[in-house]
Structure 1
Amino acid sequence: MAVVAVAVFLGGTIWTVVYSFTNSKLLPRAQFVGLDQYERLWSTNRWIVSIENLMIYGICSLILSFIIGFTLAALMDQKIRFENTFRTIILYPFALSFIVTGLVWQWILNPDFGVQSIIRGLGWESFTFDPLNNADIVIFGILIAGLWQGTGLVMVLMLAGLRGIDQEIWKAARVDGIPAWKTYLFIVIPMMRPVFITTLVIIASGIVRLYDLVVAQTSGGPGISSEVPAKYVYDYMFQGQNLGQGFAASTMMLLAVAIVVIPWAYLEFGSKNRG
């Protein structure tokens, strides 16, 4: 089964890359046009906007997911009361689909009955919070939903890493009078390198595939201000009836994934082989 799965994956990947150099429209056809699809792709404003959005979302998501996830994990590692309850509550959003999460946060961020309406109802009539209808900050409205859903998983991964740290290290640090923050920064975090790398790959692969949240919350709007590459691929392949352009965009997404996965594989397996 593993051989079949690998063969299907490699076959589909090669087929997609090959046909990205063709002029395929509604159906695939072997009419090669060289790099025309890629030149058109990178000269299209919608694609440029989608890349910019993905970069903003990706950088913010990586940084905030690590900071929030590790902070929550460090708090949970203090053996607090009702730890299992808090852990379940924080992890619960990850069990929801991105469509459900997107719809929930679309309601929460709706100015008519969401956060803005509630705050104004408390007396702050001038309060404004409507990110999904503001082209300049709409990607941050999507980011809020993504963090809400994904931070719980990061917390669990970090907590597993913290629980794997030998307690003797903590005891030795306390005996030596090392502050807790220095213990985390200079001892614990370096020891959790494999956990950080694995978490990075998981988050990065999810960022590249960002689609459901955007469709559920904004459908790419206002205008094209919240477009992302995955939506660009879907629209051109299934709505625009331009398979060649969709294949070219998906190939660029594949390249982005390879940029993430190859260094991870080298760090994980190359170092072990050298050891």
Structure 2
Amino acid sequence: MQDTSLKSPGALVEAGVAEVGRSTPPSGARRWLARHLPKLVLAPSTFVVLIAVYVFIAWTAWISLSSSKVVPIYDFVGLEQYVRLWATERWHTAVVNLFVFSSLFLIGAVLIGLLLAILLDQRVRAEGALRAIYLYPMALSFIVTGTAWKWILNPGLGIQKVVNDLGWDSFVFNWIVDPHYAIYTVVIAGIWQSSGFAMAVFLAGLRGIDNSIIKAAQIEGASLPQIYWRIIVPMLRPAFLSVVVLLSHIAIKSFDLVLALTNAGPGGSTELPSTFMFAASFRRNQLGVGAASAMMMLMTVAAIIVPYLYSELRGRRDEH
């Protein structure tokens, strides 16, 4: 063993540095690892997404072009399942209900969310508590929301019974069992749950606006409602776009809310494309028709999401 006791301190330091240099990996390997480590970490989740999402989308598209019924059949019959789908009266009911539900759901959630955001933007007392209360429904699952509103709207348990017990015997609020009004109960439950989310997005947009704009408008003599209607609200266009896109996606794929609240009844009057797809695939043994309805839903979502993503990417490209 070599004796290092007679070496100078400088020689010992140089020997230690040389030893450390021999034990560390080459600089090229370190650079490669630093460059590719994020990709290596994300690779497993990316692989799962590719399999669980895109592969199954492709599989569903193929089943929609086959003659599958009870079990998948990997033949090719063209658009036969789509023809059968659009010839089904229950699918027409589902499409009409989706239009009614989506329209009223979006309008109600956006308006209520905007009003709540403007209210909280006035720096009211207990703002934190109010914000938590408004956001609380969003933390619940649609199954819980549907079950709760099923009890609230039940004529024998909820609002109608309470009002009748108070002495107003002629009061009737039986929408949930009326085929002509049952879809509006789904709208009420959906707005109750999602308006808090819209409020949070709008409030974030309001807090990002410079207060000097409001002060300048007040100096010019504009009232607070005029300031919000003519100046502030038009500046919230990105927030409006985000809320509409996300809530449209929720509306199109609404399934558990309808299942828990009305179970697509009474008499199929609250059928939506999502509940139609489930029933066709797993209850009526029409797997091909169910796959075709799923692809129609996917195309509807894509028609909303793709223009939004294009406008966002184009805006960022223009900024750079």
Question: TM exceeds 0.5?
Answer: yes
1:24-173 matches, within 5 Å, as: 24-173=68-217
Kept in 2, the 8 Å contact 1:116–1:127? The answer is yes
Aligned residue for 2:50? 7
Q: Percent identity of the aligned residues?
A: 41
| TM-score, structure 2 as length reference | 0.83
Structure 2 residue identity aligned to 1:7: L
- Segments of 4+ moved more than 4 angstroms: none
Aligned residue for 1:243? 287
Q: In the aligned structure 2, how far is the partner of 1:198 from the partner of 1:213?
A: 22
Superimposed CA distance per residue, residues 164-200 of structure 1 (whole angstroms, 9 cap, x where no aligned partner): 1111111111111122222212221222111111111
1:7: Cα distance to partner? 2.6
Structure 1 residue identity aligned to 2:198: V
Q: In the aligned structure 2, how far is the partner of 1:10 from the partner of 1:215?
A: 26
1:6: Cα distance to partner? 5.0
Q: In the aligned structure 1, how far is the partner of 2:147 from the partner of 2:180?
A: 21
Superimposed CA distance per residue, residues 45-81 of structure 1 (whole angstroms, 9 cap, x where no aligned partner): 1111011111100000111111110001000110001
Kept in 2, the 8 Å contact 1:50–1:229? The answer is yes
1:241: Cα distance to partner? 2.4
1:5: Cα distance to partner? 4.6
Aligned residue for 2:263? 219
Q: In the aligned structure 2, how far is the partner of 1:24 from the partner of 1:248?
A: 11
Q: In the aligned structure 1, how far is the partner of 2:58 from the partner of 2:317?
A: 29
Tell me which moved more, 38-47 or 262-271: 262-271
Kindly indicate whether residue 295 of structure 2 is the aligned counterpart of residue 270 of structure 1.
no
Instruction: Give the 3-state SS of the residue equivalent to 1:177 in structure 2.
Output: coil
Aligned residue for 2:62? 18
Structure 1: segments with no counterpart, 5+ residues: none
Tell me which moved more, 193-202 or 75-84: 193-202
Superimposed CA distance per residue, residues 182-230 of structure 1 (whole angstroms, 9 cap, x where no aligned partner): 2212221222111111111110000011111111111111111011110
Structure 2 residue identity aligned to 1:4: F
RMSD of aligned alpha carbons:
1.3
Q: In the aligned structure 2, how far is the partner of 1:35 from the partner of 1:131?
A: 38
Kept in 2, the 8 Å contact 1:201–1:261? The answer is yes
Q: In the aligned structure 1, how far is the partner of 2:103 from the partner of 2:146?
A: 20
Structure 2 residue identity aligned to 1:186: R
Aligned residue for 2:13? none
| Number of residue pairs the alignment of both structures matches | 275
Superimposed CA distance per residue, residues 243-262 of structure 1 (whole angstroms, 9 cap, x where no aligned partner): 21111000000010011101
Kindly indicate whether residue 305 of structure 2 is the aligned counterpart of residue 261 of structure 1.
yes
1:19: Cα distance to partner? 1.8
Kept in 2, the 8 Å contact 1:58–1:207? The answer is yes
Kept in 2, the 8 Å contact 1:17–1:248? The answer is yes
1:18: Cα distance to partner? 2.0
Kindly indicate whether residue 239 of structure 2 is the aligned counterpart of residue 195 of structure 1.
yes
Instruction: Give the 3-state SS of the residue equivalent to 2:125 in structure 1.
Output: coil
Tell me which moved more, 216-225 or 1-10: 1-10
Structure 2 residue identity aligned to 1:142: V
| TM-score, structure 1 as length reference | 0.96
Aligned residue for 2:11? none
Q: Structure with the greater relative contact order (CA < 8 A, sep ≥ 6): 1 or 2?
A: 1
